[in-house]
Amino acid sequence: MEPERTESEKFLTVDDIAKLLQVNKQFAYRLLDSGELPYYQFGKIKRVMREDWQAFLSSKRRTGQGGPDHGTGDDEGGAD
């Protein structure tokens, strides 16, 4: 069983998201601002709950050739 997290450990910062995805902060902000990644806003500060982060990652998982997600045309940059 996982130990109880403190309130600050329940949230990720935009810097955390950028580092985890190995992208710049601007891209991380776009994920939040587009609504693709839910967040909480406290004044000007944006935070993502770890549970929302895990759900986001799960929703982005794709299988290889022949998997159920192959050929759906959902990928960015794909030819339609």
**CATH number for 41:** 1.10.10
Structural domain includes residue 35: yes
Q: For residue range 3-35, what is the model confidence (pLDDT) as tens digits?
A: 566 766 899 999 999 999 999 999 999 999 999
DSSP 73: S
Q: Which of 23, 3, 28, 24 is nearest to 13 (CA)?
A: 28
* Cβ-defined contacts of 20-26 (< 8 Å, 24+): 20/53
Query: Residue 69 falls within a domain, yes or no?
Result: no
- 3 assigned to some structural domain: no
Q: What angle do CA 72, 39, 63 make, to 5 degrees?
A: 25
Structure tokens that stand for 72 in this block: 């759906």
Q: Is residue 78 part of a domain?
A: no
The predicted model scores a pTM of 0.68
Residue 56: inside a domain: yes
Total number of domains in the chain = 1
The residue range of the domain holding 26 is: 8-60
Residues 6 or more apart in contact with residue 69 via CB below 8 angstroms: 62, 63
The number of residues making up the chain comes to 80
30-40 residue pLDDT tens: 999 999 999 99
